[in-house]
Amino acid sequence: MTVKGSNNSKQILEDIRREQQAREGTYRERALKIYPWICAHCGREFEGKRLKELTVHHKDHNHDNNPPDGSNWELLCIYCHDNEHSRDQVADAYGDATSEGASKKGGTTNPFAGLGDLLKGKLG
C-alpha cells in the first residue's frame, strides 16, 4: 500500500512541476520580449547561452499575478534574484523593521533612474 501511495505522490509532484514550468515559460517568454536582457539590479547584460541565467522576479511575490504589460516583473540574474529572496527571508525573520525610505519589498534604488534624460543628452 505504501508503494501505491508513493507512486501517486510522485505523479502529483510531477504534475505540479510540469504546470509550474508551463506557467513560468509563458511569462518568462513575454518578459524577455518586453524588457532588455539586463539584470535590473546589477546591470549585467545577457545573451546567447547565458540568457538562461536571467530570471523573472515577481515584485509582489505572487507568481499568478502576470499582467500583460509586465508591470509585476523585473528581470534579475540568478544571483540578484537569490539575493532578493534572501533579503526578504531575513526581513521576515526579524519582523517588519523597515526604514522610512525603503519599501517593504526591496530597496529604493532604481538602476534606470535618469536613463531617459541621459539618452536625450540632458545629463553629464
Grid cell at residue 71 = 508591470
Q: Can you give the pTM of this predicted structure?
A: 0.55
Residue spans of the domains in the chain: they are: 2-97
| Whole-angstrom distance, CA of residue 104 vs CA of residue 38 | 24
Query: Band of the pLDDT at 2, cuts 50, 70, 90?
Result: very low
| Whole-angstrom distance, CA of residue 91 vs CA of residue 104 | 9
Q: What is the pLDDT of residue 99?
A: 47
Average pLDDT across the chain, whole number: 81
Q: Which residues, 6+ apart, have CB-to-CB distance to 28 below 8 Å?
A: 55, 56
